[in-house]
A and B are shown apart, each in its own frame.
Chain A
Amino acid sequence: MATGEEKPVMVVGVDESEQSTYALEWTLDRFFAPYAPNFPFKLIIVHAKPNAVSAVGLAGPGTAEVVPYVDADLKHTAVKVIEKAKALCLSKSVHGAMIEVFEGDARNILCEVVDKHHASLLVVGSHGYGAIKRAVLGSVSDYCAHHAHCSVMIVKKPKIKV
């Protein structure tokens, strides 16, 4: 229940994938853009930058030299993601969105951010993995749907049937 003037909080998780950009754009289009300047939700965009050491964890010998390069690359990707998110918000005239970056596993970070801000809604994209890829790579949207302490909206980029 909203307490007086407080707006419910919506957290959107983004990564560098196209599906994630689509999810953010869809959300901005449907929930924010038409209601400027009085948005129905307070928007928080979160990017989880993978930890460099965990990313090369399975590489084997010689990982020590690779880590700094991987780290720099990940930082570069994170910056690009944030810039893209900011540009999207601006293009839809959505101001006042909070953008946060954390380092670590996306699943845990998204759930933590939800708890920290007492969000009422978490929005994630979905890579649309099949059952096998899902079992091997894991699915952040699956994890969040089951473990987040708020309602979860999974936005999929529609696949064009060939």
Chain B
Amino acid sequence: METYVDAIGVDTEATTTTETTAKQNKKKLKVMVAMDESKNSFYALEWAVEHLRDVISAEPETDQAGGLLTLVHVHPTYLQYIYPSGGTASAMYAIDSVPESMKKAREESTTKLFTRSLEICRGKLVKTETMILEGDPKEMICQAVEQTHVDLLVVGSRGLGMIKRAFLGSVSDYCAQHAKCPILIVRPPRETSTSSSTKEHKSK
């Protein structure tokens, strides 16, 4: 704890230009974490909170305000793709009644998801907020990054192989190429990644 006080002392001794940039950069980071129900995104959140603790948590001893941690969850809306293949009147009716029960189920799962996430963030001295969006996950996440001007985007990675990634699409891939801010891709721990690679060998 004393080391943080020493750091302030070092900053004031520096020259004026480095002092102003140091003061600017001492501001804690605004980090956005993309969540879905998968195990990997919870692991990504845990990893981010653990390793980025130093750069986002507030330091009460030095009155250093903490950064901001935004948890964003995107509801994928795949329902719209059903229309072109349907085409008959009966198909359209079926779709109208489905969304209500689906909406309830989605709300429940989202609440569960955020409750679990906020548990992970508890006690870490960082302002946490949650955001729910609807649409294509990849595009919505990149849009959210642009709108909120975060410093860093954190995503999990399903550890898909090249072939699966080409067919299923990868949110982390798309975000790495299109997000306007630096992106941190958290790999799942060794044990799960080796098990997924052996599965792929079997399928090949």
Interface residues of A (CB under 8 A from B): 8, 23, 26, 29-31, 33-38, 40, 91-93, 120-121, 126, 141-142, 145-146, 148-156, 158
Contacts and interface: CB of A to CB of B under 8 A. Distances in A.
Nearest to A158: B180
Contacts of B47: 151
A42 to B, nearest CB: 13
A40 B51 CA distance: 9
Contact of A152 (B25, B162, B181, B184): B184
A94 to B, nearest CB: 12
B94 interface: no
Nearest to B188: A151
How many of chain B's residues touch chain A, expressed as a range?
35 or more
Nearest to A141: B176
B100 interface: no
Contacts of B179: 156
Given A30-B55, A34-B26, A155 B185 contact: no
Contacts of B181: 156
Interface stretch (B6-14, B77-85, B109-117): B6-14
Nearest to B179: A156
Contacts of B184: 121, 151-154
Contacts, number: 83
Interface string B145-183: 000000110000100001000000000110010011111
B7 A37 contact: yes
Contact of B183 (A38, A93, A149, A153): A153
B3 interface: yes
Contact of A156 (B3, B182, B186): B182
A38 B62 CA distance: 15
Contacts of A142: 173, 176
Q: Which 4 A-B pairs have the closest CB atoms?
A: A40-B54, A38-B3, A34-B26, A155-B182
Contacts of A145: 157, 172-173, 176, 185
B69 to A, nearest CB: 15
A120 B6 CA distance: 27
B199 interface: no
B176 A154 contact: yes
B29 interface: yes
Given A30-B25, A30-B151, A121-B51, A154 B185 contact: yes
7 contacts: A33-B21, A33-B25, A35-B7, A149-B187, A150-B187, A151-B185, A153-B152
